Structure 1
Amino acid sequence: MTEPPLYERDPEAWQAHLANGNRTQPRKRVGADVLFRDKAGRILLVDPSYKPDWDLPGGMAEANEPPLETAIRELREELGLEYHGGRLLVVDWVAPHGPWDDSLMFVFDGGVLSAEDQAAIRLEEGGELREARFVTDEEAKGLLRSYVWARVERAISHLASHSIGYLHNGIHREH
């Protein structure tokens, strides 16, 4: 007769086994951005004070925070916007680069911001953002890192096709 599995015969040992795996397995950074547009179809970008390049509004998740909640929190903190969530457009796996390990970036649809919503955007004095502005696709291409622009460009295409994209460094991958 075979012995029952560890989770059946010793639940405490099983939990300790799982906890050890949780401690030793790799962890990924997760970020969540939001693609907002204006009525002219321009994209909202932000200029973070802590890096040289522009980006979509959003940011990095805190420990155990779901990506959509990250986007909601970051938009409230950094722009004063009450975002209630939107459709997932793309998930982008970003390869290790420089001192950073790999990460997963989620891009959600923010829809078209009304003139009233645009007027409500507030940058915190001395905060993480120097500027927020709507730009054309061509301007965005020049302001964003190439792989971020690739991610944004794919997000725009998935917005139009009502689909979700899976990317590697901004490049579409079949799934």
Structure 2
Amino acid sequence: MRPTAPDPADTDAWNAYLAEGNAKQARKRVAADILLRDPAGRVLLVNPTYKPGWDLPGGMAEANESPEDTVRRELIEELGLRVTVRGLLVVDWVAPHGPWDDQIAFVFDGGTLSQDQADLLRPRDGELAEAAFVAPDEAGGRLGERIRRRYTAAMTALTSGRTLYLHNGVVLD
């Protein structure tokens, strides 16, 4: 089927054409994490119960949910925390791996929490075993390779003020 300009009298046909195209296009998995710090400059990591290793706070998007809404929802559900998303640090295209199709992963800047907010952080659901603020250099040692590369790029983006685009955690120039 070749696209044509919509006929105002035949919007149903045009919408059917668009729906067919939408059904055939690739769908991407979307993940959204956030980089949060405490007043001492330590970064927040979470230890999920459903996979090994530590991670940045955040998670997978639901259908038709924006990445920034995803990270806000995940923080409320898992930590009871409401934050302002301050900007985008990293976009990482992750190639298919294992049973998974490709993915787009975002890391946002969540800024610095107040000491009171940091002191009150506790896992609120069964998805997290623990949450901890750790020194930035210690964080890399707790994270798995894939998320470590994304975290390192996010820290670079934070200090440079420039969003970074990655392929499998590797910065593209």
Identity of aligned residues (%): 56
Does the alignment pair 1:58 with 2:41? no
Offset at residue 152 of structure 1 (A):
0.6
What's 1:107 paired with? 107
CA distance in 1, matches of 2:162, 2:88: 9
**1:131-150 alignment runs, 5 A limit:** 131-150=130-149
Per the alignment, in what secondary structure is the counterpart of residue 160 of structure 1? helix
1:166 and 1:5 map into 2 onto residues whose CA distance is: 35
**CA deviation profile, 1:111-166 (whole Å, cap 9, x unmatched):** 112210112213125x1000000122332222211121111111111111111111
Pairwise CA distance, 1:7: 2.1
Q: Secondary structure at the match of 1:108?
A: strand
C-alpha distance in 1, partners of 2:4/2:166? 38
Query: Which residue in the other structure is 2:170 paired with?
Result: 171
Query: What TM-score does the superposition give when structure 1 sets the normalisation length?
Result: 0.90
Taking only aligned residues, the RMSD between alpha carbons, in angstroms, comes to 1.6
SS of corresponding position for 1:77: helix
Report if the CA contact (8 A) 2:122-2:131 is conserved. no
Partner of 1:119: 119
Letter in 1 for 2:44: L
Q: Aligned letter for 2:19?
A: A
- Tell me what 1:91 maps to: 91
User: Which residue of structure 1 aligns with residue 155 of structure 2?
Assistant: 156
Aligned length: 170
What is the TM-score when the length of structure 2 is the normalising length? Answer: 0.91
Determine the C-alpha separation between the residues in 2 that align with 1:132 and 1:142: 15
Contact 1:55 1:148 in 2 (8 A): yes
Three-state SS of the structure 2 residue aligned to 1:91 is strand
Letter in 2 for 1:39: P
CA deviation string 1:39-60 (max 9, x = no partner) = 3322110000000121100011
Q: Which amino acid aligns with 1:23?
A: A
Aligned counterparts of 1:109 and 1:48: Cα–Cα separation in 2: 20
For 1:76, the equivalent position in structure 2 comes to 76
2:23 maps to which residue? Answer: 23
Matched to 2:50, the amino acid is Y
- Kindly state the Cα deviation for residue 6 of structure 1 after the two structures are TM-superposed: 5.0
Consecutive unaligned residues in structure 1, runs of 5 or more: none
Structure 2 residue ranges without an equivalent (≥5): none
